[in-house]
Amino acid sequence: MKISLTGIKPTGNIHIGNYFGAIKPALALTSKYFGVYFVADLHALNSNPSPLELQQLIYEVAASWIAFGLDTEKAIFFRQSDIHEIPELTTILSAVTPKGLMNRAHAYKAMVDKNIETGRDPDDGVNMGLFTYPILMAADILLYDSDFVPVGPDQRQHVEIARDIAENINRIYGKTLKLPEGNFAKDLKDIPGIDGRKMSKSYGNTLPIFCTEKELRKQVMRIVTDSTPPEDPKNPDSDNLFQIFKLFGSSERVEEVRQLYLKGGLAYGTLKQELFETMLVTFKPARERFNYLMENKPEIDLLLAQGAEKARELGRPVLARVRKAVGLDR
């Protein structure tokens, strides 16, 4: 059975961008593929979170996956840092990764560009974890001979880098690693945040799924719209609120609202209220499971420990193959 693998960093509360961009498409693949899902806690270290905060977020991300329906009997679900084969593979992969490939990685490049723009040293605030982030991610993917990697559009480049690195190993040492494919939901763009930029934990512009009702309402009401008065026609395709609403409304309701935009007569505030209520209903079952798990953390610990065993079993032979190919073992 082919393998579909994806991970989420515990760097903030899970939001609808994570859900629609990664979690939902990944879980939808579990009927066709063998699912391998994890909490990418090593990747989260790059922002030097406080240990307490990191602990809390690891649980939150783990509880989110399960709350959204990940079946830990059928799929493998674990925490990245429990898999000691990953740092070992990362070191081996580093030896065949050109520095130039890392220089071109978006996240690093964006930081350098920003530093230059603001007159700082180009590498100001860049640690080696951030710089080599794509190699660790390549190890995550390649360790299990993954076939598909369902991720949002912003992670596309990282999957391509993982392929490049696997190709380098295969070119130098003969066919050793399987080349993974990204799996991008067709015409899915990055989901916009409440300020219209890509929704991201790092921009503080998210609609979190497991926050309190009060917090969610506040964020929904803060969605930025233009100042067109209710009676005037509006363009649904350029409106941020509509892009978000589209993810939730039934197809009939979305079409009705689209017509209201075009005709005029829709107040943004009314649609925000509807979005808020629809979000509450949509995520109610997940929220209940999430809250239960967060009150029962030992259950999460047990599932993660069992998952780590299975993941290591799956990854060990691949690492052994790589060690042999590069000449570390006979």
Residue ranges binding ligand TRP (CB under 6 A) = 5-9, 40, 43, 137, 140-141, 149, 151, 155, 158
The first and second tokens of residue 226, run together, are: 């233009």
Range 17-36, binding ligand ADP (CB under 6 A) = 17-18, 21-22
Write each residue from 114 to 153 as x if it is in contact with ligand ADP (CB under 6 A), else as -, in one continuous string: -------------------------------------xx-
Name the one range near ligand ADP by CB under 6 A: 16-24, 92-100, 224-232, 316-324: 16-24
d(CA 141, CA 190): 22
CA 263 to CA 267: how far, in whole Å? 12
Task: Indicate which of ligand TRP, ligand ADP, none lies near residue 259 (CB less than 5 to 8 Å, by partner kind).
Answer: none
Where does residue 170 rank: exposed (0-12), middle (13-18), buried (19+ CB within 10 A)?
A: middle
Min CB(237)–ligand TRP separation in Å? 27
Q: How far is the CB of 68 from ligand ADP (least distance, A)?
A: 12
What is the DSSP track for 54-83? HHHHHHHHHHHHHHTT--TTTSEEEEGGG-
Please say whether the dihedral angle defined by the alpha carbons of residues 328, 177, 172 and 137, taken in this order, is positive or negative. Answer: negative
Only one of the segments 15-23, 138-146, 230-238, 290-298 lies at the binding site for ligand ADP (rule: CB under 6 A); that segment is 15-23
197 touches ligand ADP by CB under 6 A? no
- Hey, what are 304's tokens? 């993660």
195 binds ligand ADP (CB under 6 A): no
Choose among ligand ADP, ligand TRP, none what residue 11 binds, the Cβ cut-off being 5 to 8 Å by kind: ligand ADP
CB 217 within 8 A of CB 225: no
Strands 148-150 and 76-79: unpaired
- For position 291 contacting ligand ADP by CB under 6 A, the verdict is no
Nearest approach, Cβ of residue 319 and ligand TRP (Å): 16
What is the distance between the alpha carbons of residues 10 and 12, in angstroms, rounded to a whole number? 6
Rounded-to-10 torsion of CA 154, 158, 160, 162:
-160
The residue written with tokens 């190699």 in the block is 135
Q: Which stretch binds ligand ADP (CB under 6 A): 8-16, 86-94, 127-135, 251-259?
A: 8-16
Q: Which of 27, 67, 199, 319 binds ligand ADP (CB under 6 A)?
A: 199
Q: How far is the CB of 327 from ligand ADP (least distance, A)?
A: 35
The torsion angles phi and psi of 299, rounded to 5 degrees, stand at: -65, -40
- Beta carbon nearer to ligand TRP, 137 or 260: 137
b/e 228-255 (16+ beta carbons within 10 angstroms → b) = beeeeebebeebbbbbbbebbbeeeebe
Q: What is the smallest separation between the CB atom of 6 and ligand TRP, expressed in angstroms?
A: 4
SS3 (DSSP) at 195: coil
Question: Strand, coil or helix: what is 306?
Answer: helix
If binding means CB under 6 A, how many residues of this protein chain bind ligand ADP?
18
For position 190 contacting ligand ADP by CB under 6 A, the verdict is: yes
In this complex, which beta carbon is closest to ligand TRP, that of residue 85 or of residue 140?
Answer: 140
180 binds, among ligand ADP, ligand TRP, none (CB under 5 to 8 A by kind): none
Which stretches of the chain bind ligand ADP, using CB under 6 A?
A: 8-9, 11, 17-18, 21-22, 151-152, 154-155, 190-191, 198-202
